[in-house]
Amino acid sequence: MSTRLDGKVALVTGSSSGIGAATARALSRKGATVVLNSSSSAPAGQALAAELGDATYVMADISDETQARELVEASARRNGRLDILVNNAGVTVKIPHREIDEVTGAVWAKILGVNLLGTWNVTAAAIPYLRAAARDQQGGSVVVNVSSLAGIRPTGSSIPYGVSKAAVNHMTLMLANVLGPEIRVNAVAPGLVDTPWTAGWDDERSLVHSRAPLKSSAQPEDVAEVIVGLVHSYQVTGEVVMVDGGLHLR
């Protein structure tokens, strides 16, 4: 089995930094043509596109249904097809779980709007293109959602964030159940990853380093490696793979 992705087109949402940027680089190294995206950080996205060569950057807020559809259509139109979708874009608001009063409707709307509805918006728009691309390739097309350990264990940056990722996990299973055999749908659930998102999270990082069996937090490249592995795992669909150094065991 070849693990090369030459001729395939991959859209990675939220790929101007962190896990999304590492995933875009990893897919590009394998030969895929990558479409990069973010909702505001255009210079970073454009710089990465230039670094990767045949990549393009499209600014779009995935929580907006119209922008999400235009993002998918632009990706497929510019490259003639869409084989791989990595739903990585996400947001959070850091709120201690006991501080119930801080969890306003605006917080729920922001987090669910991007993490859950945004993931749905992009996936729903991509399905016809992914189906079409699946016809002529081994293993079909693939969606990989970037979830979180917070969607599996009652942990993470806030209750709305954990709930949004739990919903993404369930959506992964439900879509996998109906989109085969053309499209596989899987998710990765990272624990703590060293990205700009967690730059000031020193207490959480110390805790993970002392508690997790592997005594370390992940690098964005560690998560990207698992995402690329799922792209190649032709018999795997409906799986949520934890990438947390074993933290969930403690």
Ligand X SMILES: NC(=O)c1ccc[n+]([C@@H]2O[C@H](COP(=O)([O-])OP(=O)(O)OC[C@H]3O[C@@H](n4cnc5c(N)ncnc54)[C@H](OP(=O)(O)O)[C@@H]3O)[C@@H](O)[C@H]2O)c1
Q: Alpha-carbon distance 130 to 142, whole Å?
A: 7
- Cβ-closest position to ligand X: 18
Identity of the residue, 20 or 140, whose beta carbon is nearer to ligand X in the bound complex: 20
19 binds ligand X (CB under 6 A): yes
What character string, x for contact with ligand X (CB under 6 A) and - otherwise, covers 69-108?
-------------------xxxx-----------------
- Any idea how long the chain is? 250
- Provide, rounded to whole angstroms, the least separation between the CB of residue 181 and ligand X: 28
Helices (H) and strands (E) in the chain, counts: 8, 7
Distance CA 190, CA 34 (A): 22
Shortest gap between Cβ of 164 and ligand X (angstroms)? 8
28 membership: H or E segment, kind and range: helix 18-29
The minimum distance between CB 104 and ligand X, in angstroms, equals 19
- Candidates 24-32, 35-43, 93-101, 133-141: pick the segment binding ligand X (CB under 6 A): 35-43
CB of 232 to ligand X, least distance (A): 21
Neighbours of 127 (CB within 10 A): 18
Residue 112 three-state SS: helix
Member of 9, 11, 13, 133 binding ligand X (CB under 6 A): 13
Between residues 140 and 151, which has the closer beta carbon with respect to ligand X?
151
- Residue of 125, 144, 218, 224 lying closest to 184 (CA atoms): 144
Distance CA 48, CA 246 (A): 31
Residue of 40, 66, 104, 206 that binds ligand X (CB under 6 A): 40
Q: Which DSSP category does 219 fall into? A: P
CA dist 83 and 173 (Å) reads 19
Of 46-54, 57-65, 125-133, 134-142, the window that binds ligand X (rule: CB under 6 A) is 57-65
Q: Which of 85/134 has CB closer to ligand X?
A: 85
Q: Within 127-186, which residues bind ligand X (CB under 6 A)?
A: 146, 148
Question: What is the enclosing helix (H) or strand (E) of 68?
Answer: helix 65-79
Contact status: 23 vs ligand X (CB under 6 A): no
Has 129 been annotated as catalytic?
no
Instruction: Dig out the tokens for 62 from the structure.
Output: 């995935």
Strand partners, 236: none
Q: Which residues are near ligand X by CB under 6 A?
A: 13-20, 37-41, 61-63, 88-91, 114, 118, 146, 148, 190, 192-193, 195-198
Catalytically active residues are: 161
